[in-house]
């Protein structure tokens, strides 16, 4: 019953909202300079994928222009079907490439990255859901580029799966709750707010700094955002990212509301009051956007 009413609301909102033009503050900068071309060439030469392309991230121009990228491992096909995401989905992905950790490490070294983010599609079809592959990628980068800081944006691993990733010693572990409790049906039915909190709580208990993010403009209320922030902070999350949901293609759910930059700034002030050591809150903010800066601020506030 809940899911039926949820779909009805979105169908109604689609008819009334989707024809509205995006506000001026949501104009995306095109890639500029030559550095982004260098990133593209290195990725292509190593046969690697980025979430920048696969998820149609609005920050590709800025991030690639400054010589950074978020690598997406374990293929291009996700075994989950979240209703806001443009990544291809299927019941099963392709076989894992045992050479991917090496090629990833070579790309990181070629780009001289000081901070790199590794994320993945969900691979529920694998025995360990890909946790061991994550660990192998971290290890390969550690060996070839020991000074590079590594952030991993992982699926909802818990228990032994999460332990494999934590044993590889990432510098930051991110996992997204995506939206407030009431709107969780926009995620695949196998995900939930509580399961995501468990992932974040276990990681923090293991001693690794944690990070999460919320997409806004899906129909949430300010009270619901505050409740989500309170629960994330109680789970030990250090860094929170809040950004505008932007519909990747007509196949995904529509935007309900465009949050103004002023509202994002207000959310940032309120998030700081909860005790997050670093807050990134802006229309184009995504989990990996300004990741190195957020990590550095988090360490400074922690006195490291």
Whether 186 maps to a domain, the answer reads yes
Q: What percent of the chain has pLDDT over 70?
A: 73
Whether 304 maps to a domain, the answer reads no
Whether 66 maps to a domain, the answer reads yes
pTM summary value: 0.83
Task: Tell me the pLDDT tens digit for each residue of 200-232.
Answer: 999 999 999 999 999 999 999 999 999 999 999
Q: What percent of the chain has pLDDT over 90?
A: 64
Q: Provide the domain limits for residue 26.
A: 2-299
Q: What residues have CB less than 8 Å from 132, skipping those under 6 apart?
A: 164
pLDDT for 87? 87
Whether 220 maps to a domain, the answer reads yes
Pick the closest to residue 220 from 187, 256, 192 (CA basis).
Answer: 256
Token pair, residue 73, equals 């491992």
User: How many CB atoms are located within 10 Å of the residue 18 CB?
Assistant: 11
Strand partners for 58: none
Count of domains forming the chain: 1
Q: What is the CATH number of the domain that holds 265?
A: 3.20.20.70
Q: Over range 133-158, report the average pLDDT.
A: 96
Whether the pLDDT of residue 182 is over 60: the answer is: yes
Strand partners for 243: 215
């Amino acid at each position: 019953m809940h899911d039926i009413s949820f779909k009805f609301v979105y169908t109604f909102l689609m008819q009334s909202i989707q024809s509205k033009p995006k506000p001026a503050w949501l104009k995306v900068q095109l890639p500029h300079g030559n550095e982004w071309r260098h990133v593209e060439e290195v990725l292509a030469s190593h046969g690697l994928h980025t979430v920048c392309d696969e998820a149609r991230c609005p920050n590709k121009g800025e991030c690639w222009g400054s010589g950074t990228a978020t690598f997406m491992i374990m293929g291009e096909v996700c075994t989950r079907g979240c209703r806001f995401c443009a990544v291809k989905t299927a019941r099963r992905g392709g076989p894992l490439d045992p050479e991917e950790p090496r090629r990833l490490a070579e790309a990181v070294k070629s780009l001289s990255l000081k901070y790199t983010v590794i994320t993945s599609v969900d691979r529920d079809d694998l025995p360990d859901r890909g946790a061991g592959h994550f660990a192998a990628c971290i290890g390969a980068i550690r060996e070839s580029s020991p000074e590079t800081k590594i952030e991993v944006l992982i699926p909802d691993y818990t228990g032994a799966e999460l332990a494999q990733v934590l044993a590889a010693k990432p510098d930051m572990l991110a996992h997204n709750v995506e939206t407030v409790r009431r709107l969780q049906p926009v995620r695949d039915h196998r995900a939930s707010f509580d399961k995501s909190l468990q992932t974040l709580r276990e990681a923090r208990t293991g001693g690794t700094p944690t990070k999460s993010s919320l997409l806004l403009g899906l129909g949430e209320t300010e009270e619901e955002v505050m409740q989500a922030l309170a629960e994330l902070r109680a789970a030990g999350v250090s860094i929170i990212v809040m950004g505008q949901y932007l519909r990747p293609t007509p196949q995904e759910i529509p935007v309900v509301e465009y949050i103004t930059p002023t509202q994002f700034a207000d959310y940032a002030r309120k998030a700081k009051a909860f005790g997050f050591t670093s807050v990134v809150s802006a229309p184009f903010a995504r989990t990996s956007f300004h990741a190195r800066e957020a990590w550095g601020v988090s360490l400074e506030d922690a006195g490291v």
